[in-house]
Structure 1
Amino acid sequence: MNTLAPRLSVPHLLLQAPMAGSQDSALALAVCGAGGIGALPAAMLSPEALTQELQTLSTGTDRPWNVNFFCHTPPLPDPAREARWREALSPYYAEAGLDINAVPAGAGRVPFSHAVADLVEPFCPPIVSFHFGLPAPDLLARVKGWGSVVLSSATTVDEALWLEAQGVDAVISQGAEAGGHRGMFRTNDLTTQMGTFALLPQVVAAVNLPVIAAGGIADAAGVRAALALGASGVQVGTAYLCSDEATTSAIHRAALQSEATRHTALTTLFSGRPARGIVNRVMRELGPLNPAAPAFPTATAAIAPLRTYWEKRGSGDFSPLWSGQNASGCRSLPAGEITRQLLRGFSD
């Protein structure tokens, strides 16, 4: 079922995955210019930055584009867990000569809200996508009232069915290979997480909606495989991380173009929620899923100074080196060229 492409007036559904911390509107516009659907990750943007980026996108292309938000519920303060987390990190603070007691607790990501919607509404984005479920019904109705196409990620069939019942326009079927944060929201059980080409046909069979495949798709052959299994389109992230328009750091780029990408893992160390990245020192030594890490997104605050310290010294040992399991398409090319290569999978 592919009712979404005609609705968006595009021949093919090639979506660039929103990648917070590694891109801005420049990447989204480059993808749009080459025939794909660019995306803007908004969860880490200040109100001023979000407004500016939306203005840039709305005036920079006449093609559909996507703005993405998180829908997590901010956790209640948990001083005991925060103390355990800081105790786990204290040897690394001592090694770096940093004062862990000087680091305030806090969060680096905010969920979609009416205040954010007030900023977004004047731009009426063609597509609004959500991660970690959906916003409250009144907020969702507000977005749909703008005429925006609504997408959200599902990592299980159960999540896909729930999203369909809430009225989304299409489901992004996110396989376990995908880089960055898992879109899990109906369960915290990682044993439920399936690979892209196991999950995709099950979601396609379960819902009466267009399904967009995500995770491990890095080239035209991957696009063809997803379409053969019933996908209406694909979403690609890792392949764009080394593009000319990405803001990916030099340390992260070097890791993505090295043999280190052969070993990725889901980790909660950098945010408190499972996300796939290249295994580095802190993941090896603390364990990628250390239970001391506070709930999402509060784990970020205490590990951030260590990231800053080591990155200044050329090391990504304490950095979230997000990557999917298939980084073979991650090359230093203009994003437009990467997009055109991927689009061949729809027509070859």
Structure 2
Amino acid sequence: MKVFVKDIADILENIAPVKYAHSYDNVGLIVGSFHKKVKNVLITLDLTEEVFYESINKKCDLIISFHPIIFQSIKNITGKTYSERVIIHALKNDTSIYVIHTNLDMVWDGPSSYISKLLKINREKVLFPKKENLKKLTTYVPIDYASKVRNALFEAGAGNISNYSHCSYNFDGFGSYMGNKKTKPFFGKKEVFHMERETCINVIFPNYKLNIIKNALFKSHPYEEIAYEIYNIENISPYIGIGFIGNLMKKMNEYDFLCFIKKKMNVTCIRHSNFREKNIQKIAMITGSGRFGIETAIKEKADVFVSSDLKYHDFFKHEKKILIVDIGHYESEKFTKNLVKSFLDKNFTSISVYESEIHTNPVKYFH
């Protein structure tokens, strides 16, 4: 079975839609073509020149990087920086580069899922839910066609609420219309007033599926002119957003917790605020840079906030209410390679997927 870049991108974007990414981010296909055939894939946290040479040795057609090789616009490509040199290498070797970053961070099955399983944490919800993420569709369908339209909307991705699928609200009534002489009414006759018994269907769906949902409606609905409304709704999903809140299976003291996370996360160095001499059970965590989450973690009454890239003054924010822990940026995200590989292994059997063996952490520790 032939596999193309687009096939892989479709799987990844079904899990982590590109539109979930932060506005500053640069995700999706960065270099190459969606129509390129793929036999071997290399997954990396950072795409350095050394990683690129590794991809050549492994004969990889596609590199999937967590961190973008291009963050901002480039006016010229002369090879003066490592990122420009990687792009030149990729173009010369016909190697495609795909990035999945903050859009993966946003989803429930993303890095937070992997780490919570590793640490045996029972997750409750995300720490920062994504806002303005949902829309609602209301449409009116002849009763005998309601099931067909409703199922088409479900198939397109509408009607999912947390752990429930196929959610809708329906009620019957009468719709009226009278078409002019240019019309071809499905029921009734042109230029004659008509009333038809119809079902009103209401479903919610994520913003990024707007066009898919509309296409499903238009293809499945029997009417020439379809009556429908689409609304933005303020409901917030507890499972889409940055970070997470959860509980350890059992309480432990602060020292034991730091030893536990150091071992499980394979961390060589941990920075932390003063001990409060209280047990740890409720955890707030953001992988990668998360200094913005301290106050929210305190409001959520977490016992500890775990993240990275914290500054000196951030450690004063504990106010004796929370233990603040910095495990390192690379250290908090390094498991992403294994996570993305698991997505591809489940969906493709005819390609080889490799995790980069290169340790790309630019931060070194003197012991």
Query: Do they fold alike, i.e. is TM over 0.5?
Result: no
Q: Which is strand-richer, 1 or 2? A: 2
TM-score, normalisation: structure 2: 0.28
The structure with the larger Rg is 2
Q: Which is helix-richer, 1 or 2? A: 1
